[in-house]
Structures are given as C-alpha cells and as structure tokens.
Amino acid sequence: MDCDERMNLFDEMIENILRQLNRIAAAEQARLNKPSRAWKDVGEHHMILGREMAYELGGQNTLGLSGCLYTTESILFPQGVYLYGSDLAQMTENQSYARIVLVQLEGKNDEEALYRKFREIDYVRYHIHPEGYMARISPVSQREPVRVSKKALKKGISFCDVGQMYLEQYLRIAQVKNVNVIFVTHREFDYWVLEKLLGRAEQITQSLNHIFTSLNMDCNTCNLKAVCDEVEGLRELHFGQKNKE
C-alpha cells in the first residue's frame, strides 16, 4: 500500500456525503457563482448579542455541524462554493445547518507531511470572521452554531460571500488542488447521519495526531486502538511510524 492509499482514509465518507447531497440536488444546480464584491472580514472573533441576532443556525435543539475531510483522489465536485437549501436571506428562524469542506491535496509527499498539511488546512476555520456572521467553533466536536445579525442580512450577506472567504484562504495553501465549500440548510437532509460521519472523521484525525505526535506507541494502552483496528490503512501507518521511531 503506497502513501496515497494510506492517506485516503476519508474517501468512503466523502463519497457517502456527496451521494447524500446529490439526492437533494445535482452539483451543477447547487454551485454558487462567485460574488461580485468581497464581504468584509472583521479580522477577529466578534460577538453578536441576542438583540442583534436575526437567528441562529444550530441553536435551540437544532444541529449546527462542520467538518473538513481530505483526499488525494479526484472524487470531489468541481471547485467552488455549494448551497443545498435556503440562503441566509431566505431564513427567519433557527434551524439545522452544516458547513462541509472537502479538500483534494497533491499526494506526492510522505504521510507525515500530508498530515501536517491537514492540520494547516484545519486551522483556517479559526481565521475567518465575516462581518455579522459569528461561528462558535468547538475544537472537540463537529458542532459549529452560527449567529447571523440583522444588520448583515440588511446588507445582503449570503453563503456565497462567506464561502468565498473560506475558499480563497484554502487555495492559498500549497498542494491544495481542489476545494468544495458546502453549506447545507435543506430540511430533508439527514443531519444526524452527517454528524456520525463527521464524528468518525474526527476519530481518524485524532488517531493520526496520536501516530505522528505521541511518544506512546503501545497499542494495548491506546484508547484509539479500536479506530486503528477498523479503519484500513491506519494500523499500517501506525506501525510504519513506529518502525521509524
């Protein structure tokens, strides 16, 4: 098994997500045009208080999900921002939503270099601060509720504006070949299934983090052993790293 095969640990999950999205609408219908103007990035995390808020995506018994998955294969949609469901201006109340980022990378480096690239890409989410759009990111779960301000809606904020900000940042990273920034607000989408898929992806990411950063290489004492046993490629990757040590 070569480097590319070992590091395509998310491919099955990516293909599952793309199939679910295609049940809602074809990719060409969901792809958004590039906005005519750039939305303002306020440069730092900003608060949107309850009286300023129009609604919260993922608030009050709804799900607000986010996740980033990687591949070196050409299995993604064409590069761009995609929306499945209503745009920000079309919503008036709290509801479930998801922000999914799928990234295709050049697979010519070794496994550890690709893992470092994963982490670099993941940190992008902490540096995007659209005016009037407050994402509350949980680093230990896939939850990402978002507050949207009344003022931003009056100014015309859209998922296209927000998605373009993410897209441009990802494309600045070396070795990134293709990015799909996908927003989902469709009420018939199965967010609970997506939560399970993103949770599994996070378990794999935690296993990779353990493999490449932990001094403990004893599988018998590792709480991530079950993940390595079940996910093809992780165990081989683990023992390959152990041999290097």
Whether the Cβ atoms of residue 10 and residue 71 lie closer than 8 Å to each other: yes
Q: At what angle do helices 11-24 and 191-213 cross, to 10 degrees?
A: 160
Q: What is the pLDDT of residues 232-244, one digit of tens each?
A: 454 454 445 444 5
- Residue 88 class from Cβ within 10 Å (0-12 exposed, 13-18 middle, 19+ buried)? buried
Q: What is the pLDDT of residues 188-200, one digit of tens each?
A: 999 999 999 998 8
Q: Does residue 43 sit within a domain? A: yes
- Range of 24's domain? 3-191
* pLDDT for the residue numbered 109: 64
Q: What is the pLDDT of residues 7-50, one digit of tens each?
A: 688 999 999 999 999 999 999 999 999 998 899 999 988 999 99
Whether the Cβ atoms of residue 151 and residue 61 lie closer than 8 Å to each other: no
Q: Does residue 239 sit within a domain? A: no
Q: Does residue 184 sit within a domain? A: yes
Q: Does residue 226 sit within a domain? A: no
CATH of residue 47: 3.30.1650.10
Range of weakest confidence among 24-38, 46-60, 160-174, 217-231: 217-231
Q: What is the pLDDT of residues 98-152, one digit of tens each?
A: 999 999 998 766 777 777 888 899 889 999 999 999 999 876 677 899 999 999 9
Greater confidence (229 vs 161) lies with 161
Q: Does residue 148 sit within a domain? A: yes
Distances in Å between the Cα of 222 and the Cα atoms of 112, 182, 198, 240 are 20, 34, 21, 17
Q: Does residue 217 sit within a domain? A: no
What are the backbone dihedrals phi and psi of residue 191, each rounded to the nearest 5 degrees, phi first? Answer: -70, -30
| Chain mean position to CA 14 | 11
Q: What is the pLDDT of residues 55-76, one digit of tens each?
A: 999 988 899 999 999 999 999 9
Q: Does residue 49 sit within a domain? A: yes
- Residue 244 class from Cβ within 10 Å (0-12 exposed, 13-18 middle, 19+ buried)? exposed
Q: Does residue 236 sit within a domain? A: no
Nearest to 181 by CA among 104, 107, 234: 104
Domain count, the chain: 1
pLDDT at 5 over 80: no
Angle at 244 between CA 243 and CA 245, to 5 degrees: 90
pLDDT grade, residue 229 (50/70/90)?
Answer: low
H or E stretch including 43? none
